[in-house]
Structure 1
Amino acid sequence: MSTSLLKPVVRTFEGAGGFFSLGAATVRDTLRRPFQWRELVEQFWFVASVTILPAALVSIPFGAVIALQVGSLAGQLGAQSYTGGASVLAVVQQASPLIVALLIAGAGGSAICADLGARKIREELDAMAVMGVSPVQRLVVPRVLAVTAVSVLLNGLVSVVGTLGGYFFNVMLQHGTPGAYLSSFSALAQLPDLYISEVKALLFGFLAGLVAAHRGLSPKGGPKGVGDAVNQSVVVTFLLLFLVNVVLTAVYLQLVPQKGA
């Protein structure tokens, strides 16, 4: 009985160890030559093509909901003039990097996991290792770097679109004044807010690509195992991103004094 209870714990620690080992190998092989530039460009274009339009479309309702909710609460407290600053900070610091990472994990990450998993069950990765070609350097590194780069770039797009969506709905539906919206944003926002957003996007993209690659390299049970690995990669990525977001936000708020404080 005790052995059966320990098996899930052992598998969890083994999976975590494999994940950190793959992360270390990815960082190490990034500096090795030859670098797979063509694979990097192809993966970058693929991930960007499947995420850029959904990211832009999803950011509009996210920005609108945040602006409407903040505007409603600010109206109840008599602080309508701070609606713009609070809404934009929520979009830039929290919503934008999470939206990008979740879309990348659901679209690009799942495709990467399925591709690597299919190669694994066809024993292509084993054949590469026999020929002296590192699967991590050849396949994992370009994919992880492509996902990371797309995440950083899309974060800027989502921040702008989400901010414009919040501005439009606040002015049109809640009859806010454009000048008060923009002035409160300039009064409360600061450059470190944008920096932490980009740091989050960078780290979230790296983690999303790494989780997808890790699950894709270790499927079990043939094609069904590949499908299970894809589902696991998306779920694990979501949980990991929310946990890391809490930690980064707490550290940022402790280390960086807020403007006007």
Structure 2
Amino acid sequence: MTQTALSVLLSPATALGRVTLRFVAELGGLFLFTLQGLWRILVPAPSWSKIVQQVYFIGVKSIFVIALIGLFTGMVLGLQGYYTLVKFGSEGLLGAAVALSIIRELGPVLTAIMITGRAGSSMAAELGIMRISEQIDALSTMDINPMRFLVAPRLAASLICFPLLTAIFDVVGILGGYLSGCVLLGINPGVYFDRIDATVELADVTGGFVKSVVFALLVAVICCYEGYFTHARQGGFGAKGVSLATTSAVVLSCVVILVADYVLTSFLL
């Protein structure tokens, strides 16, 4: 067998090995980036002013969009749930169906996805621009740790804001189901809220908050990582690199949210 024929036969295996090695290297880098970011939250003392700024940006500025999405999600669930349950004569269970759907699944997942689109993309773009304009290198030159100054506050703020915004989504979503089921379709409000009280358990609420914390860590780490290492991205540098990093951060975060949701649900049920 000639050398050329051997190269042709081995080229698919070579390409697969190259992709595998690159994936393992990226995964290892992301893991180390996560550990360093979490460590810099606590050591040295937290930069509270930076954390408060990020809480305002990630949390306060997201309240309106989270409440709006939660309201219409609950109203849609109320409509769909009513016309499904009425076929079985069980429309009184609408409150339980809406509350459990939102608290267990839709609240944490949709909140995380909406914050990814609003704040996660901004984190990736901001850090990417700081990287290509050499501001991050300037911080290192001035003996200021970029991880503590830029990444750790965003991680801490995300861990604080995601559960709080999830709680807002849950409450507004249940009220949206009340508007559809009770105000528009005539279900007894007492029955609606009584079924919620009788069905929803503390484990359901706790599971939703556990998901929100995990999603917060995943979204913040992925978005910050993509922006922080924009200069190392293959296929683009400068403005194009920032755009690719931002797009990759949002898409990858949304995919990871859904995958993590399945994994967490399988353990929490």
Superposition TM-score, scaled by structure 1 size: 0.92
Q: Write the distance in 1 (CA, Å) between the matches of 2:31 and 2:87.
A: 48
User: How is 1:187-226 mapped onto 2 (pairs within 5 angstroms)?
Assistant: 187-219=198-230, 220=233, 221-226=237-242
- Structure 1 residue 48, shift from structure 2 partner: 2.3
Match of 2:32 among 7, 15, 21: 21
Cα distance in 1, alignment partners of residues 228 and 91 from structure 2? 52
3-state SS, counterpart of residue 59 of structure 2: helix
Distance 2:226 2:89 in 1: 50
Match of 2:184 among 166, 173, 181: 173
In the alignment, is the contact (CA less than 8 A) between 1:114 and 1:230 conserved in 2? yes
Which letter does structure 1 place at the counterpart of 2:165? L
Alignment partner, residue 163 of structure 1: 174
Greater shift after overlay, 16-25 or 226-235? Answer: 16-25
- RMSD of aligned C-alpha atoms? 1.5
Alpha-carbon offset, residue 34 of structure 1: 3.8
Question: 1:78 & 1:248 partners in 2: Cα distance?
Answer: 33
- Which letter maps to 2:180? F
The one-letter code sitting in structure 2 at the alignment partner of 1:121 is I
Q: Does residue 1:252 correspond to 2:238, yes or no?
A: no
Secondary structure of residue in 2 paired with 1:231: helix
Offset of 1:77 from its aligned partner? 1.8
Percent pairwise identity: 29
> Which position in structure 2 is the counterpart of 1:144?
155
Q: Which amino acid aligns with 1:211?
A: I
1:172 Cα deviation (Å)?
2.8
TM-superposition CA deviations, 1:4-24 (whole Å, max 9, x none) = 343333322222111111111
Alignment partner, residue 7 of structure 2: none
Amino acid at match of 1:250: S
Q: Distance in 1 between matches of 2:124 and 2:27?
A: 17
Q: Is the 8 A contact 1:26 1:141 kept in 2?
A: yes
Residue by residue over 1:69-121, the C-alpha shift from the partner in whole angstroms, topping out at 9 and shown as x without a partner, is 22222111222221111111111111111121111111111111111111111
What stretches of structure 1 of length at least 5 have no aligned partner? 254-261
Determine the C-alpha separation between the residues in 2 that align with 1:26 and 1:206: 10
- Give the whole-Å Cα distance in 2 for the aligned partners of 1:34 and 1:185: 43
Q: How far apart, CA to CA, are the structure 2 residues paired with 1:84 and 1:28?
A: 43
- How far residue 192 of structure 1 moved from its aligned partner, in angstroms, is 1.4
Deviation at 1:176, TM superposition (A): 1.5
Q: What's the counterpart of residue 110 of structure 1?
A: 121
Decide whether the 8 Å contact of 1:100 with 1:154 is kept in 2.
Answer: yes
Which residue among 79, 97, 112 is the counterpart of 2:108?
Answer: 97
- Which residue in 1 is equivalent to 2:246? 230
The one-letter amino acid of 2:261's match is N
User: Are 2:98 and 1:82 equivalent residues in the alignment?
Assistant: no
**Does residue 44 in structure 1 map to residue 52 in structure 2?**
no
* Higher deviation after alignment, 91-100 or 162-171: 91-100
Residues 29 and 141 of structure 1 are in contact (CA less than 8 Å); yes or no, is this contact kept in structure 2?
yes
Give the number of equivalent residue pairs. Answer: 253
> 2:55·2:160 contact (CA, 8 Å) conserved in 1?
yes
Q: Distance in 2 between matches of 1:6 and 1:126?
A: 33
Question: How many Å separate the matches in 2 of 1:9 and 1:59?
Answer: 40
User: Structure 2 unaligned runs (5+)?
Assistant: 1-10
Contact 2:124–2:249 at 8 Å: present in 1 too? yes
Pair 1:55-2:71 in alignment: no
Output the CA distance in 1 between the equivalents of 2:75 and 2:20.
43
The answer as to whether partners of 1:108 and 1:147 remain within 8 angstroms in 2 is: no
